[in-house]
Amino acid sequence: MTPLRSRMINDMKLRNFSTKTQTAYLSAVAGLAQYCKQSPDRINNEKIQRYLLYLKEERELSWSSCNIVICGLRFFYSKTLGKTSTSLSIPPRKQQTRLPEIFSFKELERLFVSASSPKRRALLMTTYAAGLRVSEVVNLKVSDIDGERMTIRVEQGKGNKDRYTILSKRLLEELRLYWKMYRPRIWLFPSQNPKKSMHIGTAQKIYYQEKERAGLTKGRGIHTLRHCFATHLLEAGTDLRTIQVLMGHNSITTTMVYLQVTRKRLESLQSPFDLLDLSQINNFQHKR
């Protein structure tokens, strides 16, 4: 490991960056150095901008991927090297609003009932019943399930924050049956190596396989179950602030997106089309 790379790693550790962020930022700097065939501390602004243009036009990376590279390079030059004069920018992303697809209760029942194993069923049920991110559900420990207080402890979720979410009575029963069959010791959903938790990619794969098995076409990933949790709570009358806390959202604005997908809210609205008097159409048809 070069002294420069070591310095950057230490700078990120001091700021409590996640392992995922550290890997992405290091990859950004390494990619620039490889492209320019120079040590990154000797690369000027013109070459950096040329590299970013290469990523966008030749490699056709998405805006979000380019933005991660930008953030990594900006951190390296401004924090590790102290070069505040380095200018990095890409045009702002056009706003895209994609509302999450929500499963009905019947569709969720099909997903859970048709699951090919108790472990897979427990994984999907826990994700939905507690409104968890995939990274959170695979990192649950057996000790995080509190049957007395009826809570689930989410340790170091997004933003390195701990929180509690609800533990459904029905889920607790399912988890007890699951535990009797598999006897997990540390991790609630371990990998083949019981000392390690299930990989995020494995959980995603399980979701896609079981979704196909159930004949469901909605939902792009296991995160759909988290969207369903929030939407169904809102439809049941739970206030937004409570949902925000359970979901671990930093801002209420993030939670408010579920107002746009609740079925009851749409059903309560009346289209202005229903206010039109179109009785003359029937009269005209009868005359013909």
Task: Show which residues are catalytic.
Answer: 133, 158, 223, 226, 249, 258
The Cα angle at residue 248 between residues 23 and 218, in degrees rounded to 5: 85
Rounded distance between C-alpha atoms, residue 225 and residue 133, angstroms: 9
**HSE of 51, CA atoms in CB hemisphere, 13 A:** 24
Question: Are 71 and 15 spatial neighbours (Cβ–Cβ below 8 Å)?
Answer: no
Which amino acid, one-letter code, is at 208?
Y
DSSP, res 237: T
Residue whose token pair is 């029937």: 282
Residues 6+ apart with CB under 8 A from 4: 39, 40, 41, 80
Beta bridge partners of 12: none
Residue whose token pair is 């929030």: 230
Question: Are 188 and 196 spatial neighbours (Cβ–Cβ below 8 Å)?
Answer: no
